[in-house]
Amino acid sequence: MLKILKYSFYDLSRSRWSYVYFVFYLLLGIVLLFLNNNLSNAVITLMNVIILLVPLIGTIFGVMYYYSSKEFTELLLAQPIKRSSIFLGQYLGVAISLSLSLVLGLGIPFVVYGLFESAIIWDFFSLLTTGVFLTFIFTALAFNIALSNENKIKGFSYAILLWLFLAVIYDGLFLLLLMYFQDYPLDKFSLIATMFNPIDLSRILILLQLDIAALLGYTGAVFKQFFGTSLGFFIAMTMLFLWVVLPVARMLYVAKRKDF
């Protein structure tokens, strides 16, 4: 598997898109820090960007990579290599290279700015951690979509729909339900509904880290009470972890039974 990972990574490191993605974060980091001069504002802006952009890039890039490396995959399938190693290697190659673009692209300007001397390092750290989690989650989801759809156009459409659903529509439905059932106690419902969307979960985790949960009113208090405890944090992290593990497991399950 490590050899496949090495070659996928090598392949991607020669692709223009990895650099475009890296340079985008580099510029974003520089602009936010050096024009804004306020670290915590920069972190909040970054959160808003990361929460939407990382899933989008993860899904699109994952689907794109799967389809464009189809020939390579077929070449590998005839070699004495385990199927699961091929797909796991390719998945990790994409997810790690995207994560590196994110971490290096944002990390370099922050380090140059003098992040290590400021108290905000933990906020920044949780921002990057959730960003990496989101990359791994959405790349895995993208591989699932691509594996199940031979037709590229369909695959891309489903990938975009998935992103749209989790990033935008889910929140809309969530809000509608909250309005509709506002006469009932909704604390538990909100907590659970948040758990089932990795984007929401990441947003809440970062917001709580930033200590601006008070701005969210009563809901904020409920969330703070739950996620603020070490148990809540542990559960949230477990959920993010499951969001990675379950799609990867399905990917391997489907790949094992697929004809090429």
Partner 1 sequence: MVSFQNLDKKFGKNVVLNGLSLTINTGGIIAVLGPNGSGKTTLIKSLLGMVLPNKGSIQIDNQIIKNQWEYRNNIDYLPQIANFPGNLNVNELFTMIKDLRGKPTIDKELIALFKLQPFLKEKLSTLSGGTKQKVNLVLTFMFDSPLVILDEPTSGLDPISMIRLKELIQQEKTKGKTILITTHIMNFVEEVADEIIFLLEGKIYFQGTVSALKTKTNQQNFEYAIATILSENHA
Q: Provide, rounded to whole angstroms, the least separation between the CB of residue 70 and partner 1.
A: 8
Q: Provide, rounded to whole angstroms, the least separation between the CB of residue 258 and partner 1.
A: 8
Position 152 contacts partner 1 (CB under 8 A) = no
| Nearest in space to 25 (alpha carbons), one of 8, 42, 5 | 42
Residues in region 170-199 near partner 1 by CB under 8 A:
none
- Of 2, 78, 119, 214, the residue at the interface with partner 1 (CB under 8 A) is 78
What per-residue string of b and e applies to 2-24 under the rule 16 or more CB within 10 Å gives b? eebbebbbebbeeeebbeebbeb
Position 79 contacts partner 1 (CB under 8 A) = yes
Which two tokens mark 95? 């997810």
Q: Which is nearer to partner 1, 244 or 251 (CB)?
A: 251
- Of 27, 34, 38, 82, the residue at the interface with partner 1 (CB under 8 A) is 82
Q: Provide, rounded to whole angstroms, the least separation between the CB of residue 94 and partner 1.
A: 14
d(C-alpha 142, C-alpha 208), whole Å: 29
- Of 9, 11, 200, 251, the residue at the interface with partner 1 (CB under 8 A) is 11
Asked if 240 and 201 touch (Cβ cutoff 8 Å), the reply is: yes
CA distances from 210 to 64, 98, 115, 221, 235 (A): 35, 25, 16, 14, 19
What per-residue string of b and e applies to 100-111 under the rule 16 or more CB within 10 Å gives b? bbbbebbbebbe
| Nearest in space to 235 (alpha carbons), one of 247, 246, 223, 250 | 223
Residue listed under structure tokens 């949780």: 126
Q: Which is nearer to partner 1, 7 or 165 (CB)?
A: 7
For partner 1, what does the binding mask look like between residues 37 and 76, x meaning CB under 8 A? --------------------------------x-xx-xxx
Among the listed ranges 7-15, 96-104, 180-188, 246-254, the one in contact with partner 1 (CB under 8 A) is 7-15
Q: Which residues bind partner 1 (CB under 8 A)?
A: 3-4, 7, 11, 14-15, 69, 71-72, 74-83, 257-260
